[in-house]
Amino acid sequence: MRNLKIVQIASEAVPYIKTGGLADVVGALPKHLRLLGHDVRVILPRYASIDYNRFQLHPLLSPLGVWMGNSEEWCAVHAAELDGIPVYFIESNQYFNRYGLYHDTEFRDYQDNPRRFGFFTRAALQLCRDTGFAPDIVHAHDWQTALAPAYLKTWHWNDTILGAAASVLTVHNIAYQGVYSASHYDYLGLQWENFVADKFEDNGRINFLKGGIFYADMVNTVSPNYARETRTPEFGHGLAPYLNNKGDHYTGILNGVDYDHWSPESDPLIPARFSAADTSGKLACKQALQERFLLDVDPDIPVIGVVSRLVAQKGLDLFAQTVEEMVSNMRVQFVILGAGDKSLEWFFGGLPARFPGRIGSYIGYNDELAHWIEAGSDFFLMPSRFEPCGLNQIYSLRYGTLPIVRATGGLDDTVVQYNEANGSGTGFKFWESSSRAVYYAVGWAVSTYYDRPVHMQKMIHSAMDMDYSWERAALAYEEVYHRAIANKQALGG
């Protein structure tokens, strides 16, 4: 396979800005594509919260003219480097100099999101033109940049820089589609003949992701099981027919994990290091976690960790319905880290006062605490209603923290069910999306901890030996890129 020029256009990427797994993918995948010999560039918005000095940003281009609707708008571009990869930041005070990425302080969508991310996507493509970077692949991520495949085919089809580029669209979470009022459509410049049911029209509104799926040369999602699920009405969130229309141009690639950042042998954030060969450091991490969250310090009580967005998708409302019953009926502790739905924030934030020594919580996100929870917990709970891939369960495996998960999407792909007969497996899976199912799965894990410690140790070692590195995933993306190029060429360019 020949080496490619690839531009990744995304709304977030670690270490610069993160709200979810999308940022982990965009932060890690380019590095591993570069190791395969490809020329990769990343383009992000320049949010107000991105620290200019910490990340050594410097001016690259100003002004950059971007044609939107019937007028030209202007922005500036800044640059940095990450693991030898150029990273560019589109600066627009009008669109990105504000509190949040997608929501205000009350977690309400910014009403100009379609303009914000339409502008960003157009600016990213214009940056390629103005810098003379002619990509073989334009890789867009989620609804925020899903217009890129459409812009390539409607605006840049005969462009000397972008005309030959094939497009790949990765769907990280199909529940978020970018559905907004059609009043923004003229501004986006997508032409009204494209505002039809098979493309951008969705019950009279614009659907960014739907149109991107139509125009992309290849579409993928972030686990094989989620690719299968999203072809069905139950999980497709209205887009199953359009994904099925893509045929074999839609596939699933399981996310990788950056073990440079998530490995107990080398993790600089945790209280003690450990490995599958010597897990003694994990006990030190557990003690430190119990102390930090004001739990009763006892090595014999199992600790169950939760690091999550506090939203219905993650099944945290189901957990909320039964957590009090769990701590009343089981000898167990919980550590909870997350933010999201305000009612869930209030509920979980109040539990430590009601169950002192049994439950600890931190409302918000803290990267160090996330590492402490992964390292110091005995189990990790993910009761998701749906989960495209999930990364925390993969981190948990590496840290010998056995996942308790609903068998959906990537959770089902990555966790091997415990076999009580012989102690094989890497975690505990349940299928029904209900508070009862969560309760009984946690009870099963807790009883295994107390009653079958030999099985626990066997599973911990099996979990820590699992390999979900980005090397494997990068090779799969490389294949998808070449398929996208072939698909574009088969359609006449």
| Nearest residue to 264 via CA among 104, 387, 151, 377 | 377
- Helix intervals (H) in 293-334: 316-329
Instruction: Give the three-state DSSP class for 432.
Output: coil
CATH code of domain 5-256+470-490: 3.40.50.2000
Instruction: Give the three-state DSSP class for 64.
Output: strand
- Pairing relation of β-strands 137-141 and 5-9? parallel
| Nearest residue to 344 via CA among 323, 371, 369, 327 | 323
- Residue 465 sits at the vertex; the CA angle it makes with 464 and 471, to the nearest 5 degrees, is 110
Contacts of 108 (CB under 8 A, 6+ apart): none
Q: Each residue of 245-293: pLDDT tens digit?
A: 999 999 999 999 889 889 999 999 999 999 999 999 999 999 999 999 9
Output the tens digit of pLDDT for each of the chain's 493 residues.
689 999 999 999 999 998 888 998 999 999 999 999 999 999 999 999 999 999 999 999 999 999 998 899 999 999 999 999 999 999 999 999 998 899 887 778 899 999 999 999 999 999 999 999 999 999 999 999 999 999 999 999 899 999 999 999 999 999 999 999 999 999 999 999 999 999 999 999 999 999 999 999 999 999 999 999 999 999 999 999 999 999 999 999 999 988 988 999 999 999 999 999 999 999 999 999 999 999 999 999 999 999 998 988 999 999 999 999 999 999 999 999 999 899 999 999 999 999 999 999 999 989 899 999 999 999 999 999 999 999 999 999 999 999 999 999 999 999 999 999 999 999 999 999 999 999 999 999 999 999 999 999 999 999 999 999 999 999 999 999 999 999 999 877 5
Domain spanning 280-464, CATH architecture:
3-Layer(aba) Sandwich (3.40)
Q: State residue 107's pLDDT score.
A: 76
CA–CA distances in Å: residue 78 to residues 46, 56, 92, 102, 357: 8, 10, 11, 21, 48
DSSP H or E stretch at residue 437: helix 435-451
Q: State residue 392's pLDDT score.
A: 94
CB-based burial, 141-172: b 16+ in 10 Å, e otherwise: bbbbbbbbbbbbbebbeeeebbebbbbbbbbb
Polymer length in residues for the chain: 493
CB 91 within 8 A of CB 44: no
**Assign residue 114 a region: left if phi > 0, alpha if psi is -120 to 50, beta otherwise?**
alpha
- Sign of the four-CA dihedral 473, 479, 482, 487: negative
The Cα–Cα gap between 109 and 106 comes to 9
DSSP H or E stretch at residue 73: strand 71-82
Backbone angles phi, psi at 59, to 5 degrees: -60, 140
Secondary structure letter of residue 303 according to DSSP: E
Residue 47, both tokens? 């949010």
- Strands of 281-332, DSSP E: 303-310
Comparing 5-256+470-490 with 280-464, is the CATH topology the same? yes
| Nearest residue to 85 via CA among 196, 10, 163, 144 | 10
Neighbours of 201 (CB within 10 A): 18
Q: State residue 365's pLDDT score.
A: 85
Domain edges within the chain: 5-256+470-490, 280-464
Tell me whether residue 278 is exposed, middle or buried, using C-beta atoms within 10 angstroms of its C-beta: 0 to 12, 13 to 18, 19 or more: exposed
Query: The whole model's pTM is what?
Result: 0.90
- Helix intervals (H) in 147-223: 147-154, 185-188, 208-215
DSSP H or E stretch at residue 333: strand 333-340
